[in-house]
Amino acid sequence: MSRRWNVIRIFVEELPERRGRFVARLGNGQVVVRSSRQPFLDAARVLLAEGADPAEMLVMMRGQTQSLSGPIGKAAKLTVDENCSPPRFREWRPYAGPSARTDEKPDDADLGASVAPRAV
């Protein structure tokens, strides 16, 4: 018997006042991530923290186009390393606070309010 996958869709739009940054919303309009350069991965972390099943599929939509998808649990463990060419997925680590290294920056996603994940 095959498992029926629940799918959570997020809809992303580039913020007009912040080029290269995106807002991510659920299908009902509820904001998951207010501002992020990697809205798919940041939304996965928010949804997982709010109790989403790690095996549920997260689908990112830009308009009517599906642009990225994957299991929430796997996506939540990734970040994008833009310090190499081409950019690559890397293991995500929570920001541990200021350090002596000047090249470390916090994950600058502006995460949305608490959301109750549900299939959209």
| Domain contains 64 | yes
| Domain contains 30 | yes
| Domain contains 104 | no
Give the Cα separation of 90 and 78 in Å (integer): 6
| Domain contains 18 | yes
| Domain contains 54 | yes
- Structural domain count of the chain: 1
Identify any residues that bridge with 96 across adjacent strands, giving them in sequence order: none
Structural domain of 62: 7-94
| Domain contains 84 | yes
pTM: 0.76
pLDDT of the chain along its 120 residues, tens only? 455 668 999 999 999 998 899 999 999 999 999 999 999 999 999 999 999 999 999 999 999 999 999 999 999 999 999 888 898 989 998 877 776 444 444 445 565 544 544 443
| Domain contains 77 | yes
